Amino acid sequence: MRWRPCSIGTVAAILNLEPLAELHRDPWLLVIEKPSGLLSQPGRGVHQQDSVITRLQLLEADLRLVHRLDRDTSGVLLLARGLESLRRCSDLFARRLVRKLYVADVVGRLLGRGSITAPLARLQRIPPRYGTDPAGRSAHTRWRSQFLQAGITRLWLVPMTGRSHQLRAHLAGIGHPIVGDPIYGDVDGSRLHLHALALSFRHPFTGKRCRVQTHQHSPFPQEMD
């Protein structure tokens, strides 16, 4: 019997799962748009086994996560096709040669542009919570406001480092938690308003400049668009 390859959408339909949108595919890389609420990789316990990588490895066993997004964060996620691709992509991230652009809604008025430089350390294990600590790892975030509406500011965010919960912890640390954040803010019934909008990097095999962006400017309520 010969098996035929099928698409992400086909596998999702068979397993009654939400399909994952492909943004880019070539012989070495796969970029998808992760939905909010789905883990990047399996967590602890049988109830946390559904994830981006477990779904995609049903199609391609050699796929590897290059980086991760928090469960409640949506947007661009890069995967490597094979170990050599993983090695080269991981090197780009380690050398900070990958530019990441996020969009977020934060509580309160935050106008203009600025940066946050504050070392971060894990302050709590369950649920994981990070905060400023002089003994923590260096972390740097740049931000620029788009507009203010109804006490909420929409921001563009560029993390210059890649620490766990960096954007969430940094913004909460200056008194502007991200809307819908269940750990660092007040939950108002909405999802976390944090979306990985784009990745820019030089292709680790072809050398060409790549910029991959999600199909929508943001998945948040239309009145803020």
Active-site option among 26, 50, 62, 70: 70
**Looking at the domain assignment, is residue 53 inside a domain?**
yes
Asked if pLDDT for residue 86 goes beyond 70, the answer is yes
The question of whether 50 is a catalytic residue gets the answer: no
**Looking at the domain assignment, is residue 1 inside a domain?**
no
Range of the domain at 17: 8-216
**Looking at the domain assignment, is residue 3 inside a domain?**
no
Which CATH number does the domain housing residue 111 bear?
Answer: 3.30.2350.10
**Looking at the domain assignment, is residue 224 inside a domain?**
no
Q: Is the peptide bond before 219 cis (omega within 30 degrees of 0)?
A: no
**Looking at the domain assignment, is residue 75 inside a domain?**
yes
**Looking at the domain assignment, is residue 221 inside a domain?**
no
Q: What is the pLDDT of residues 20-63, one digit of tens each?
A: 999 999 999 999 999 999 999 987 766 668 899 999 999 999 99
**Looking at the domain assignment, is residue 222 inside a domain?**
no
Asked if pLDDT for residue 75 goes beyond 60, the answer is yes
Name the residue with higher pLDDT: 174 or 188: 174
**E strand residue ranges, the chain:** 21-25, 29-34, 63-65, 74-81, 99-107, 113-117, 120-124, 129-132, 140-149, 152-159, 194-202, 209-213
Half-sphere exposure of 85 (CA within 13 A, CB side): 19
Residue 3, classified by CB atoms within 10 Å of its CB into exposed (0-12), middle (13-18) or buried (19+), is exposed
Which pLDDT score, from 0 to 100, does residue 49 have? Answer: 80
pLDDT band at residue 4 under the 50/70/90 scheme: very low
- Our count of domains for the chain comes to 1
